[in-house]
Structure 1
């Protein structure tokens, strides 16, 4: 005899046909947990009862699924989901338009393209939620929708970390240019990629397969751990900002040459760099010395502590980073709040019919919808594509130029090579020439190759000057 089943919709003991129908399917699922295997359940139920399942059966099974932030969509979710879908489509097109216009002016800020991908994720996430609300049995679509909503939040967190990294490198160019710092940041990006993979897997598998209650609990623990890691990851941008401003720039930072995009004259919402300004700036480096061509590339700013490599003009407008810091701080705070709310929902680990207010759709539309709309407005109006633009690496033809100091060494090497070449030729002279050469033995002198510090024809310099210039070429300007 079947045991009484608690009704997730109406409460109390349930002896309805839906309950006994589920008892039959539980037996087919070899004693699975009621919150798992919704995909095979949907397939078996449609085989037994036809393509359109009774609403009572659907409500019963949806109520037994694990609770989610925002819950499972119903007809009331269609309108707000459609609104946010349209809004994020507009943001996506705007980011794409800015990227295209910037590319036409040789201003390549690839994070704009990254935000285009983020906008697509958000648009698809809310768009699929509309279709899911029409048919709750579309399990594959439901899994894709939930994953896209979670990934959209993490994608914004990752972009914030990139912005904070560039701000840190601007304030601490020596530390920001070191391999240890860069590899540490790369490691963090790899870790979050692993966290995303763990989140998607642990969230999707219980919907796809029948699992026992013990195994299902292990998957819930994995999702809990990943939600905590996402919270910590959302705080990395703020932590990096704190490190950059709590620790003052060192003397090496202050003496280091930095290559900043001086051709950016404004951060106005409707400002774009002049056409060809970047190319003209790069051409000026052909007349500069070695240290300028290999200066550390950082974002633009007016108030700084470093030797900035400028071009022919220093009219760069009123560019400060107080607004940039505020943009990162506000966006990180909003993303942190969204991560905390989702973490609370995950740690409840209840069936959907027992979910609290944190699983209400309104809260999801606020933290994943409204707050992210504000973040995108800050990015677009604040023109992060200008504020956080780091100059591209100089063209190869510019970096390969040999300066006058380096040409001296080339002349010396050429003279030395010509000496040894003449020695090889002298060994192949005829016997008659050798006899004439033997007559010269009365003149005692020693042949030796020209010294590496000897001045070639047309140059006059002292040996100690050359050694000093070659040994201190980097140290005098970079102070590493």
Structure 2
């Protein structure tokens, strides 16, 4: 065995391989530019929607992923130019693991909204399904923290502790594979479970003022209903809490919405499974498997996430998976604040009674001017 081969045999293979100037500088710069462009697009969409009263927080999360990946590949660049700096290596691996979790959570959230729209009687706020999903989101965050902490201390402990930490990391990675795949069974259950009579009659509310779900369309804020108009859509005497849902199938957006979820789930599951495989097989660089090559890392991390983000942007998830704000979620049957037959509901900090009085005062003032 030559000295070079002996050196390779002494170093363990790792996902993404060890960075080298010849390949990683160019690859990292390209990835930084691509994610920077998507960050600008996501922030532009978020600000434009907010200006029109269309609050879609996942756009901000998608922007956050882009910023995390810019940091990831900036750390990769720094690691390339300082290969012996262990702290830069740790930071690069932490950001490499952390970013994609945002896409897992968003895709699960989108699938949850599909299930809720199909079965509002099973997924209303406070239901078992709703509670389980909230617990699952929390568990993903917990496993992410575990992965970050274990990655940070892995290189600063002895061999025995490293073996224990390695087991925690494997469990976390498997959990992420499950998280990436979970939207598929959720969507399947949404259509496999037959809709009950409760699902058909449960009071639901969707953004019916959105006219289109593609292209460069932006919602018209003037078409949003007031609180009084919102409650006018609910049958009199209804005591069940209304469920905010995504558009129904007849609006022509549901089929594309499901496709966006399923395609993203397949891409993310494959990419995460490949990365997880590298944590279960520890070999030397001489026996390096295909999933530890540098090109695999760029395909499974950068390309996969770019494809999902671009698909979601072009597919206008900000319209297809938008649900109305919950600021109107007060009991429609409450009569404590009824005055003269008008329900006292808040609308942007004022009440319907106050607004009604203001309108009457305005009408009176206009009449006096005419006289």
Give, in angstroms, the shift of residue 344 of structure 1. 1.3
Deviation for aligned residue 1:294: 4.7
Partner of 1:374: 307
Question: Which residue, 130, 136, 139 being the options, matches 1:191?
Answer: 139
Contact residue 338 and residue 367 of structure 1 kept, 8 A: yes
Question: Which residue does the alignment assign to 1:325?
Answer: 258
Is 2:171 the counterpart of 1:206? no
2:13 equivalent to 1:10:
no
Mapping of residues 115-126 of structure 1, within 5 Å: 115-126=62-73
Question: Which of 143, 162, 186 is the matching residue for 2:90?
Answer: 143
Q: Does 1:112 align with 2:59?
A: yes
Unmatched 5+ stretches in structure 1: 1-5, 12-59, 304-317, 409-480
Name stretches of at least 5 consecutive residues in structure 2 with no aligned partner: 342-371
Counterpart CA distance in 2 for 1:293 and 1:112 is: 31
Report the 3-state secondary structure (helix = DSSP H, G, I; strand = E; otherwise coil) of the residue aligned with 1:276.
helix
* Aligned equivalent of 2:230: 285
Q: Is 2:294 the partner of 1:349?
A: no
* Aligned with residue 81 of structure 2, among 134, 142, 151: 134
Could you say which structure has the larger radius of gyration? 1
- Post-superposition CA distance 1:240-294 (Å, at most 9, x none): 111111111111101112111100111112010013322x354523656464995
What is the match of residue 166 of structure 1?
A: 113
Q: Measure, in 2, the Cα distance between the counterparts of 1:294 and 1:206.
A: 49
By how many angstroms is 1:222 displaced? 2.0
User: For 2:193 and 2:329, how far apart are their aligned partners in 1?
Assistant: 35
1:148 shift after superposition: 1.2
Q: Does structure 2 conserve the Cα–Cα contact (< 8 Å) formed by 1:89 and 1:119?
A: yes
* Stretch deviating more after TM superposition (118-127 or 382-391): 118-127
CA distance in 2, matches of 1:286, 1:86: 47
Distance 1:8 1:89 in 2: 42
**Greater RCO, CA 8 A, separation 6+:** 2
Determine if contact 2:143/2:172 at 8 Å carries over to the other structure: yes
Report deviation, 1:395.
4.2
Deviations, residues 17-39 of structure 1 (Å, cap 9, x unaligned): xxxxxxxxxxxxxxxxxxxxxxx
Relative to the length of structure 2, the TM-score reads: 0.83
- CA drift at 1:71: 1.1
CA distance in 2, matches of 1:396, 1:171: 20
Q: Tell me the distance in 2 between the aligned counterparts of 1:159 and 1:7.
A: 50
5 Å matches for 1:236-385? 236-278=182-224, 280-285=225-230, 289=236, 291=238, 294-303=241-250, 318-352=251-285, 354-385=287-318
Per-residue CA shift, 1:322-381, capped at 9, x if unaligned? Answer: 111110011110100011101111111234454322111101111111122111111101
Size of the aligned set, in residue pairs, is 338
Root mean square deviation, CA, Å: 2.8
- Tell me the equivalent position of 1:103: 50
CA distance in 1, matches of 2:217, 2:237: 33
Q: Give the corresponding residue for 1:307.
A: none
State how far apart, in whole Å, the 2-side matches of 1:167 and 1:72 are: 42
Distance 1:374 1:283, change over 3 A: same
Shift of 1:126: 1.3
Compute the displacement of 1:166 (Å): 0.6
* Counterpart Cα distance in 2 of 1:8 and 1:228: 37
Partner of 1:77: 24
8 Å Cα contact 1:64-1:351 kept in structure 2: yes
Asked whether the 8 Å contact 2:245–2:323 carries over to 1, the reply is yes
Normalising by structure 1, report the TM-score: 0.65
Q: CA offset at residue 399 of structure 1?
A: 6.0
Q: 2:320 aligns with which of 373, 382, 387?
A: 387
Q: Give deviations 1:116-160, integer Å, cap 9, x for gaps.
A: 111111111112111111111232222122111211222211110
Q: Is the 8 A contact 1:283 1:398 kept in 2?
A: no
- Structure 1 residue aligned with 2:173, among 220, 227, 239? 227
